[in-house]
């Protein structure tokens, strides 16, 4: 298929590379053009502006940091919103607010195009090895057409339904649970340390007994070793997601005290200059609160 791809950051670059490798024809755009260089060398075409990534009835994927970046490439000058029309599909894979998804879906529909939300679970290493989990929601006909593309980027595509916002709220729910797990693991390891239990030993026992899930094994290892650079998922983006969870919760009168706590944890980490660290670096704040010092 001919596909436009916008946003070649840690995730998007690896995902676009997999589309190329699967034999799709790619037209790419990134705000910092140099990130497209190697994809262009491997056969992708470079677009001069977002709108030039796609024809009016074509397919375009976006994988951008946040809601504002996405709005800019859709509704801003040179955006894809002005280009897509009947038959066109915007495949929106960033982690964003459900309300942004609903708004962009309505905008595309008003021009005859379709919008499919397809946020993902999995970090850049999973993106590179096609091990992402993709949460797809949008009009059935559009979902059926784009399924092969999503399958070329991940290990499993969950079909959520016709309302794009539902895919986004599931993604935010998952990220909320990861943040809560980061905090729980950091507190547990810090507590163990005070009793002379090595952080690695604490996680070895817990992940080989009651918590053998990849989340605890992989994130636990990072937190045990205080290994926060380079970031796989930036802490500044973790704060973005805590904010998105709380905004969604507020809009439906759902108290989420743990999310509020994690928002503060990330804010405090940002204030200490850790926005570019991996989001597991929230664990440093736990150690500091306990007077245990930190490795960074």
CA-to-CA distance for 215 and 232, rounded, in angstroms?
Answer: 14
| 64 is an interface residue for ligand NAP by CB under 6 A | yes
- Looking at 66-74, 99-107, 182-190, 283-291, which segment touches ligand NAP (CB under 6 A)? 66-74
Residue 234 designated active-site:
no
CA-to-CA distance for 34 and 127, rounded, in angstroms?
Answer: 20
Q: Dihedral angle at the C-alpha atoms of 60, 19, 172, 278, nearest 10 degrees?
A: -120
Task: Classify the phi-psi angles of 295: left when phi > 0, otherwise alpha if psi is within -120 to 50, otherwise beta.
Answer: alpha
| 73 is an interface residue for ligand NAP by CB under 6 A | yes
- Looking at 152-160, 208-216, 229-237, 269-277, which segment touches ligand NAP (CB under 6 A)? 229-237
- Looking at 2-10, 159-167, 214-222, 251-259, which segment touches ligand NAP (CB under 6 A)? 2-10
How many C-beta atoms surround the C-beta of residue 156 within 10 A?
Answer: 12
Among 74, 146, 237, 244, contact with ligand NAP (rule: CB under 6 A): 237
| 181 is an interface residue for ligand NAP by CB under 6 A | no
CA atoms within 13 A on the CB side of 241: 25
- Looking at 6-14, 181-189, 198-206, 260-268, which segment touches ligand NAP (CB under 6 A)? 6-14
Among 10, 100, 101, 188, contact with ligand NAP (rule: CB under 6 A): 10
Residue number with CB closer to ligand NAP (12 or 285):
12
User: How many residues of this chain bind ligand NAP (CB under 6 A)?
Assistant: 24
CA-to-CA distance for 145 and 256, rounded, in angstroms?
Answer: 37
Do 85 and 115 form a contact (C-beta atoms < 8 A)? Answer: no
Residue 55: CB partners within 8 Å, gap ≥ 6?
Answer: 2, 83, 88
Burial of 173 (0-12, 13-18, 19+ CB in 10 A): exposed
| 69 is an interface residue for ligand NAP by CB under 6 A | yes
Cβ at position 124, least distance to ligand NAP in Å: 6
Q: Which of 171, 194, 201, 234 is catalytic?
A: 171
Among 4, 9, 58, 285, contact with ligand NAP (rule: CB under 6 A): 9
Site string for ligand NAP, 112-131 (x = CB under 6 A): --------x--xx-------
| 4 is an interface residue for ligand NAP by CB under 6 A | no
Question: Residue 53 carries which DSSP code?
Answer: G
Among 3, 27, 30, 97, contact with ligand NAP (rule: CB under 6 A): 30
Tokens of 65: 């940091």
Question: For residue 100, which of 117, 83, 80 has the smallest C-alpha distance?
Answer: 117
Tokens of 169: 């709220």
Measured at the CA of 7, the angle between CA 14 and CA 103, to 5 degrees, comes to 125
Q: Which of residues 135-154 bind ligand NAP (CB under 6 A)?
A: none
**What amino acid positions are annotated as catalytic residues?**
171
Under the rule (CB under 6 A), what is the footprint of ligand NAP? 7-12, 30-32, 35, 63-65, 69, 72-73, 94-95, 120, 123-124, 232-233, 237
């Amino acid at each position: 298929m001919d596909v436009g791809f916008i946003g070649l950051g840690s995730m998007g670059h690896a995902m676009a590379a997999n589309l190329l490798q699967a034999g799709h024809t790619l037209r790419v755009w990134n705000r910092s053009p140099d990130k497209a260089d190697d994809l262009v060398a491997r056969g992708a075409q470079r677009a001069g502006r977002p709108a030039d990534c796609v024809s009016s009835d074509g397919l375009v994927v976006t994988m951008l940091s946040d809601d504002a970046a996405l709005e800019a490439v859709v509704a801003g000058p040179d955006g894809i919103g002005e280009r897509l029309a009947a038959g066109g599909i915007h495949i929106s894979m960033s982690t964003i607010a459900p309300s942004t998804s609903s708004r962009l879906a309505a905008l595309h529909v008003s021009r005859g195009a379709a919008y499919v939300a397809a946020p993902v679970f999995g970090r850049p290493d999973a993106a590179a090895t096609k091990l992402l989990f993709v949460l797809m929601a949008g009009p059935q006909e559009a979902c059926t057409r784009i399924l092969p593309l999503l399958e070329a980027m991940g290990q499993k595509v969950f079909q959520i339904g016709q309302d794009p916002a539902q895919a986004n709220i599931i993604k935010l729910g998952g990220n909320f649970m990861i943040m809560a797990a980061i905090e729980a693991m950091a507190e547990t390891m810090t507590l163990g340390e005070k009793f002379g239990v090595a952080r690695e030993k604490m996680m070895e026992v817990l992940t080989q007994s009651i918590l053998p899930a990849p989340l605890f094994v992989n994130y636990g290892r990072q937190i045990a070793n205080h290994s926060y650079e380079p970031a796989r998922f930036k802490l500044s983006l973790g704060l973005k997601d805590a904010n998105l969870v709380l905004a969604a919760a507020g809009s439906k009168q759902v108290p989420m005290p743990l999310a509020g706590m994690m928002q503060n944890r990330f804010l405090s980490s940002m204030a200490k200059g850790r926005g570019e660290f991996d989001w597991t670096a929230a664990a440093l704040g736990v150690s500091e609160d306990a007077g245990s010092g930190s490795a960074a």
